[in-house]
């Protein structure tokens, strides 16, 4: 879920960087995500070919590693988006079943 | 000029580099990971441990590259045996030269000394160079690996001098 959300943020911003993604995730309701959680996700997204990265100037310090969505990344988002309703239905059915069995309220 | 934030945590940084090296992560990737950490802690003001957790755990989470296949046993034997032979020839040659002994097993001391040093030089120069590099400039971050190798070879020279002196001291 987090990796898909990070990918969606990169697509929405077109070009962004780690700390900005963390801030967007927090505003979206994921709470405070640590750099140690996000950067491995970004590395995996890049290894899959869904984003690219390059170093550029930042506001002081060593600069920023900017990430951008690729065409393959946009296709992946479109694919996941098309599967989402089916996935949500499966989860909802499982929750409804659990409620019926009185295991959750 | 204040030191970059990551320089204020040398142990965490060194632990991360070592943990990544142990997992066979290439030098250029290590440089990229280090710079990510540096950039992030500069932005957030957090310590690297606050933002990334323990260095060893973070290194484990960053291994996306397939490690090199395990070396053949014979390669491993050669990598230990050959420098071992070189070290033995170097030490014995220097000692015998200092002690004024003519030969050992038919070898002249100066020949053993030269052969031993030559083996060590060739062995270390053949080591693959995989510097930790800054992705922005491609320059080594921690000092060139070649410089480190030259320091090691220099220490062999010092060891040979000490063995020569020991042989001279003990000589009858």
B43/A36 Cβ within 8 A: no
Residue A103 pLDDT greater than 80, yes or no: no
Residue B151, token pair as written in the block: 């320091």
Q: Strand, helix or coil at A23?
A: helix
Q: For chain B, which residues lie within 8 Å of any Cβ of chain A, measuring from their own Cβ?
A: 4-5, 32-33, 35-44, 46, 50-53, 57-58, 61-62, 64, 135-136
Q: Which residue does chain B place closest to A63, by CA atoms?
A: B39
CA distance B128 to B67: 15
Running DSSP on this structure, what letter comes out for residue B133?
A: B
Confidence bin at B72 (pLDDT 50/70/90):
low
The mean pLDDT of chain B is 83
Q: Strand, helix or coil at B9?
A: coil
Counted across chains A and B, CB pairs separated by less than 8 A come out at: 64
CA distance B113 to B155: 15
Kindly provide the b/e burial profile for residues B109-135, where b requires at least 16 CB atoms within 10 angstroms of the residue's own CB.
Answer: beebbebbbebbeebbeeeeeebbbbb
Mean pLDDT of B55-82: 73
What per-residue confidence (pLDDT) applies to B66? 56
Q: What is the pLDDT of residues A36-48, one digit of tens each?
A: 999 999 999 999 9
What is the sign of the dihedral through the CA atoms of A77, B28, B23 and B81?
positive
Q: What is the pLDDT of residues A48-101, one digit of tens each?
A: 999 999 999 877 678 899 999 999 999 999 998 888 888 888 988 888 888 888
Provide the residue count of chain B: 172
B58/A19 Cβ within 8 A: no
DSSP B44-82: H---HHHHH--HHHHHHHT--SPPPPPPPHHHHHHHHHH
């Amino acid at each position: 879920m987090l990796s898909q959300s990070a990918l969606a943020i990169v697509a929405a911003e077109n070009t962004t960087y780690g700390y900005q993604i963390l801030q967007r995730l927090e505003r979206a309701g994921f709470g405070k995500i640590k750099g140690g959680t996000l950067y491995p996700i970004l590395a995996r997204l890049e290894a899959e070919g869904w984003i690219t990265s390059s170093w550029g100037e930042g506001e002081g310090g060593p600069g920023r590693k900017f990430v951008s969505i690729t065409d393959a990344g946009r296709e992946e988002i479109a694919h996941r988006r098309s599967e989402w309703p089916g996935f949500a239905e499966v989860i909802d059915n499982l929750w409804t079943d659990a409620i019926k069995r009185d295991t959750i309220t | 000029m204040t030191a970059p934030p990551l320089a204020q945590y040398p142990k965490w940084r060194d632990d991360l580099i070592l943990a990544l090296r142990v997992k066979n992560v290439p030098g250029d990737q290590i440089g990229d990971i280090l710079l990510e950490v540096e950039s992030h802690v500069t932005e957030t003001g957090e310590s690297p441990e606050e933002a990334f957790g323990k260095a060893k755990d973070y290194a484990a989470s960053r291994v996306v590259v397939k490690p090199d296949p395990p070396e053949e046993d014979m390669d491993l034997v050669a990598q230990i045996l050959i420098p071992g032979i070189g070290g033995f020839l170097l030490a014995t040659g220097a000692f015998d030269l200092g002690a004024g002994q003519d030969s050992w097993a038919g070898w002249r001391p100066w020949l053993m000394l030269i052969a031993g040093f030559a083996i060590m030089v060739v062995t270390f120069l053949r080591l693959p160079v995989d510097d930790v590099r800054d992705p922005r400039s491609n320059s080594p971050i921690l000092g060139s690996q070649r410089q480190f190798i030259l320091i090691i070879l220099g220490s062999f020279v010092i060891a040979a001098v000490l063995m020569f002196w020991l042989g001279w001291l003990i000589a009858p």
